[in-house]
Structure 1
Amino acid sequence: MKVSMLVLALCGFSTLALAEESQTQVTAQQTPVETYTYNSHPDIARVLSVSQPPNVCKVVPARMRYEDSHGQQHIMSYLVMGNGCSNG
């Protein structure tokens, strides 16, 4: 009886965890990607993640996920130089 109650409780907990994870993924998919320009003045309160540039010697796109001062998440696209250039 105790084992079945434990299994039932664990199943309920794992279902809630999966629901929270899928909600996070849905939110990420619904966030529009903003393109940075020199006229942009983003309200960046906290950086959540930054993509790593590839190991090439050219300008490549990068993305930054951040929260503004109101707690809303944004994704910004911008250009960076790749990590594949050498100085000599």
Structure 2
Amino acid sequence: MKKVLFLALSLMASLSAYAQEAVVATEAVPYAYGMHLDVAKVIHITPTADVCGPTPVQMTYRDSHGGTHLLEYSVIGSGCTN
């Protein structure tokens, strides 16, 4: 009986570690030229708008310490044609 209880408790503890969501800053940090970025893994990049000109995109990334960050920067939109 003790073994079953121990197994059930250890299973619940391991599952709760996977159930925790990463905390992301609610406000994006605007990118500045020369800014040091510690990007270990890119999690998500918002799609580029269908305009011809600069448009903001946001990148969610994880740093080398496991922290999650949100960065905003500008790219040329995908609506430009030659």
What is the TM-score with the length of structure 1 in the denominator? 0.65
Matched residue SS, 2:21:
helix
Moved over 4 A (4+): none
| Residue equivalent to 1:80 | 75
In 2: Cα distance, 1:37 partner to 1:86 partner:
28
Query: Does structure 2 conserve the Cα–Cα contact (< 8 Å) formed by 1:32 and 1:74?
Result: no
Give ranges in structure 2 of 5+ residues lacking alignment. Answer: 1-14
Count of residues paired in the alignment: 66
Please state if 1:35 is matched with 2:5: no
The 5 A counterparts of 1:7-86 are 20=19, 24=21, 27-28=23-24, 30-86=25-81
The code of the aligned residue for 2:65 comes to: H
Partners in 1 of 2:50 and 2:69 — Cα distance?
26
List gaps (5 residues or longer) in structure 1: 1-15
Once the 2 structures are TM-superposed, how far is the Cα of residue 85 of structure 1 from its aligned partner? Answer: 0.3
Cα separation, 1, equivalents of 2:40 and 2:26: 17
What percent of counterpart residues are identical?
38
> Distance between the aligned counterparts of 1:84 and 1:48, measured in 2?
25
Aligned residues: CA RMSD:
2.1
Write 1 or 2 for the structure with the bigger share of helix: 1
Alpha-carbon shift at residue 45 of structure 1 (Å): 0.4
TM-score (norm 2): 0.69
